[in-house]
Structure 1
């Protein structure tokens, strides 16, 4: 029995040990481990409250079928199956009443299982799974594909009934990995190309078709990767245990595989799988070496600010994946060497952009980050962004993705281009700056917003950039966008006690939010920032309302609870801003996400140092990557939680503001001001 089985009994009935003898208990534990090897629950569960009761729709090229009830219910499940009948349905796909299953049930792989594992799985399903009465749903397939007898002919042509035979020339570890991959793990069901009869073209690495085994296939519009010799054993083990490794993260159906199956496997078995896969020669000699893929270079592509794809990436992707494509360790996957970017077949990339992504939730990484769907972007925009990313970090200079490919998959997935939820304005596209006569100036203005500290080191005294508060360079509704802002100036500012210009407003941020020094009035950099903000004015008129402008309001009658605020911070904020509010830096010391307190954060003169101002921002914009709200998966806390966490972090130590005595000379100071 694998070493970790005994510690994985949390989902078994509380009284199962009392009701069974020691031998049966041992079989139940082993059988539950085998069920996890085979990921039975993923396909045989539609209603999470009725595990193993079937009913999950499985799409095939010939129509829809539904997984069956494999609970020990005697009327609708497998409760009346003998072991011989169970063994036959698992190895040959033939039920107790003689009906043939379709190979969506991977019985060709299960045929390789040992008798010991098969008996243990039978005991587990019969003794430890709760019976559920749920009739199996009929097929939704047209003639002749709904004729099950045809599967008898399919079995005659394609089914290999022999159990796995160890290779005596190989190590025990290699053989264990080969057994898991070829047998209960049924990896080839998704990762091996299919033939004209929808059969896997080979079931192992041996034989004339052996090089096709695990060489990649497209399944339900996801590209199952070529697994042959891709990574070192420890990289494979890390991905299967946590859902991510130094090359990327799982997506699509693999998320369920990791959550329900591989995270529970022993370290020995995960390394065995990795050892076996690493031994297989790559299917494509042109595939980039994995040694290159994980190099962290902090190199920003030269085309980032000069192409539509680069500017689209900068606006919609760089917050998580960063301008250099390195991602954020333990949070967001890197793009450099990411196998999905390297793949010849771009289905997964387009699929993720259209429908979004969520990380696997595992014991090792319980916080599942997400990426919202970008279906609000046009087909052309998605193609431009993906082509930029593939050229920059995937080594894909040829075979560009077309807008037509995006449109076709959008239609097949049923994801029409929709306006995003939330404040109703169309986010200005940074890529459109390239069409303007003063595009160099506008692009400089955008860069100054995104890279303020790097480009203006004499004027920024902490780790913040303008885009730290004006999300996605001021294009996110409710995220302090620049849309329509210039139409509101000149205007009276209570904090200054006078009418101020837009230039005054910009220069107010440098000594406060960025704890630095104002720009020289009329300087080229100031003119670039003014031009950039004016470009986003659109058709806004003085005194007019712009939906989504600002950060919204929050009820000042809500009483802050800083104790709850600290709890919220630890759970929702610390991953990006650090356990002590210190922020996150890259390996070469560059800021990724800013500090929320301490000497590297905003000072007490910043608007964000006020509880209710910070709470309004947090309410609509933090944390990111929490759900599917376009474009950052942002927001989601309740009003009370937002006020509580804002009270907690705004009242932590931070720099003083030397000119605080000059604030609010005529008007009443807000109650939540820090001085």
Structure 2
């Protein structure tokens, strides 16, 4: 109990620092909005039920278990996790927050055809992909208690939504193409100014009492090259709407694009779909300007899983 309390205190202090502090070395920055910002508008969106509304019955036990897995898969789904991330690393506020791919935005949209798999996937199959790629682990088999609990949590959170109708805030915002091509050096400047305080100078995140407080953004403990966040488009939209934590929509669109590029121009674990060679894998799974896999940045061919540029 003592260690949990300590972790909570440390996490609260670090979060407070990220929301209200600026590194000593950072220069004063004027945060004027970009003239043509594509920030999410304040359109109304679905409001999921609060945690306090989880029913006190056998169904509610599965909902609560799904939430526990979502928040701490390293503890509750350890056999299927291969890094220090949690589901909440990319789906904020326990999967509730609009514009961070909330569970309530995803569940009613499945089954769905996905270009990534060239097939119609169920929601459970979509969850399997999260373990394979974002968690750099292995997929629980269909029907596994981990998948059942997560799906139950998503179903409970989505009650009252229309099926098959895309809701405002259901995914990450789609930013307009930037005025300037995303740039590593500009992105590094944004990272040092707005991101390093929480995620560390080396992007490896922060832990407290053995728990990840702020996730690693690249390297062996981050998502692998098969995850959706490796696409600069997805990363830029997520960053624009949600980062720095607690201060979403304060970066300009250009800053979001640049720092997304900088983040994804670092090495991370290999794509599990690796096929013969990096060029072959890029041709098969990353043939888009939004992916840096198989491209050369600062003299380093990305996709080797080794040292970053």
Flag whether TM exceeds 0.5 (same fold).
yes
Question: What's the offset of the Cα at 1:534?
Answer: 0.9
Q: Does 1:488 align with 2:109?
A: yes
Q: Is the 8 A contact 1:496 1:665 kept in 2?
A: no
Q: Does 1:431 align with 2:52?
A: yes
Q: Cα deviation per residue 1:572-627 (whole Å; 9 max; x = unaligned)?
A: 111111100111011x332111100111111111111111110011010111133x
Match of 1:652 in 2: 266
SS of the equivalent of 1:510 reads helix
Q: Does 1:458 align with 2:79?
A: yes
Unmatched segments (≥5 aa) in structure 1: 1-295, 301-320, 334-357, 368-419, 627-633
Q: Is the 8 A contact 1:611 1:643 kept in 2?
A: yes
Distance 1:671 1:461 in 2: 28
Q: Cα deviation per residue 1:247-294 (whole Å; 9 max; x = unaligned)?
A: xxxxxxxxxxxxxxxxxxxxxxxxxxxxxxxxxxxxxxxxxxxxxxxx
Distance 1:655 1:666, change over 3 A: closer
568, 571, 574: which is aligned to 2:190? 568
Q: Is the 8 A contact 1:492 1:498 kept in 2?
A: yes
| Mapping for residues 74-113 of structure 1, pairs under 5 Å | none
Q: Cα deviation per residue 1:511-559 (whole Å; 9 max; x = unaligned)?
A: 2111111112101121111111111222333331211101121124652
Q: Does 1:327 align with 2:11?
A: yes
Match of 1:640 in 2: 254
Question: What's the offset of the Cα at 1:359?
Answer: 4.8
57, 61, 71: which is aligned to 1:440? 61
Question: What's the offset of the Cα at 1:365?
Answer: 10
Question: What's the offset of the Cα at 1:421?
Answer: 4.6
Q: Is the 8 A contact 1:512 1:657 kept in 2?
A: yes
Distance 1:640 1:430, change over 3 A: same
Distance 1:452 1:360, change over 3 A: closer
Q: Does 1:299 align with 2:8?
A: no
Q: Is the 8 A contact 2:105 2:171 kept in 1?
A: no
Question: Greater relative contact order (Cα 8 A, min sep 6): structure 1 or 2?
Answer: 2
581, 598, 604: which is aligned to 2:219? 598
Distance 1:498 1:650 in 2: 27
Distance 1:362 1:467 in 2: 25
Q: Cα deviation per residue 1:18-38 (whole Å; 9 max; x = unaligned)?
A: xxxxxxxxxxxxxxxxxxxxx
| Mapping for residues 245-264 of structure 1, pairs under 5 Å | none
Distance 2:286 2:215 in 1: 31
598, 602, 625: which is aligned to 2:246? 625
Distance 1:331 1:531, change over 3 A: closer
Match of 1:546 in 2: 167
SS of the equivalent of 2:66 reads helix
Question: What's the offset of the Cα at 1:658?
Answer: 2.7
Question: What's the offset of the Cα at 1:426?
Answer: 2.0
SS of the equivalent of 1:585 reads strand
Q: Cα deviation per residue 1:150-176 (whole Å; 9 max; x = unaligned)?
A: xxxxxxxxxxxxxxxxxxxxxxxxxxx
Structure 1: 4+ residue segments shifted above 6 A = 360-367, 662-668
Q: Cα deviation per residue 1:287-307 (whole Å; 9 max; x = unaligned)?
A: xxxxxxxxx93225xxxxxxx
Distance 2:132 2:206 in 1: 22
Distance 1:502 1:550 in 2: 15
| Mapping for residues 21-36 of structure 1, pairs under 5 Å | none
Distance 1:325 1:428, change over 3 A: farther
Q: Is the 8 A contact 1:604 1:657 kept in 2?
A: yes
Match of 1:583 in 2: 205
SS of the equivalent of 2:194 reads helix
Distance 2:187 2:94 in 1: 28
RMSD of aligned C-alpha atoms?
3.1
Distance 1:664 1:425, change over 3 A: farther
**Alignment TM-score, normalising by the size of structure 2:** 0.79
Match of 1:517 in 2: 138
Unmatched segments (≥5 aa) in structure 2: 29-40, 295-309
Q: Cα deviation per residue 1:440-467 (whole Å; 9 max; x = unaligned)?
A: 1000000000001122222111110111
Q: Give the aligned length.
A: 275
Distance 2:26 2:261 in 1: 28
Distance 1:422 1:660, change over 3 A: farther
SS of the equivalent of 2:113 reads strand
Match of 1:529 in 2: 150
Q: Which has the larger radius of gyration?
A: 1
Match of 1:62 in 2: none
Distance 1:542 1:664, change over 3 A: farther
Match of 1:470 in 2: 91
Distance 1:298 1:361 in 2: 28
Distance 2:24 2:284 in 1: 56
Distance 1:467 1:535, change over 3 A: same
Distance 2:100 2:62 in 1: 24
Q: Is the 8 A contact 1:603 1:656 kept in 2?
A: yes
Match of 2:288 in 1: 670
SS of the equivalent of 1:495 reads coil
Distance 2:282 2:23 in 1: 51
Distance 1:529 1:506 in 2: 8
Q: Is the 8 A contact 1:453 1:465 kept in 2?
A: yes
| Mapping for residues 301-380 of structure 1, pairs under 5 Å | 324-329=8-13, 331-332=15-16, 359=20
Question: What's the offset of the Cα at 1:332?
Answer: 2.7
